[in-house]
Structure 1
Amino acid sequence: MFTVNHQTNRISPVRVKTFSEPLEWLRLKGDKSCRIQFFHEAEGFNKKQWSEFGQWQLEHTIKLEKALKQPLQLAVETLRHHYFE
């Protein structure tokens, strides 16, 4: 699993070996949801690099999904077991 450092809003390494980018935990005000995000500095107006940016985004989105899939499934199962059984 992973934990959130509420002082820095950083997520401790989940399976950083799988993802290898720092993740940030954002609580959404007035909502019960949160956002986990990462970013990469990019010169978005440089059309010559759009293909490169798209490739980077695709690669890292797939890595993020793989890194979070199992821990999130475990969290869902744990909550189901705790609240519905």
Structure 2
Amino acid sequence: MSAAERTAVVASEVGLHARPAAVFARAAKATGMPVTIALDGGDPVDAASVLSVLTLGVESGQRVVLRAEGDGAEAALDRLASLLESAE
């Protein structure tokens, strides 16, 4: 099984709060593999849990580190990083 890691800068004006956190957590869950998210240098949390993502308090422009393990982890993290880096 392969592990992968990506760094992304959160583009949403409100950071990862409420709706953007929910959209991201749903996308992480849809990968079907364990995915974590952490503030750069911080402790990772379950990316598929909206509450866990909200506890990070990620603001716009902050760098986060995504990690996933499993077949297709690279592609899954590419999609998740792209989602975080879009301004929606």
Q: TM-score range by the shorter chain?
A: 0.3 to 0.5
- Give the number of the structure with larger relative contact order, counting CA–CA contacts within 8 Å between residues 6 or more apart: 2
Larger helix proportion of the pair: 1
TM-score, normalised by the number of residues in structure 2: 0.35
Greater CA radius of gyration, 1 or 2?
A: 1
Larger strand proportion of the pair: 2
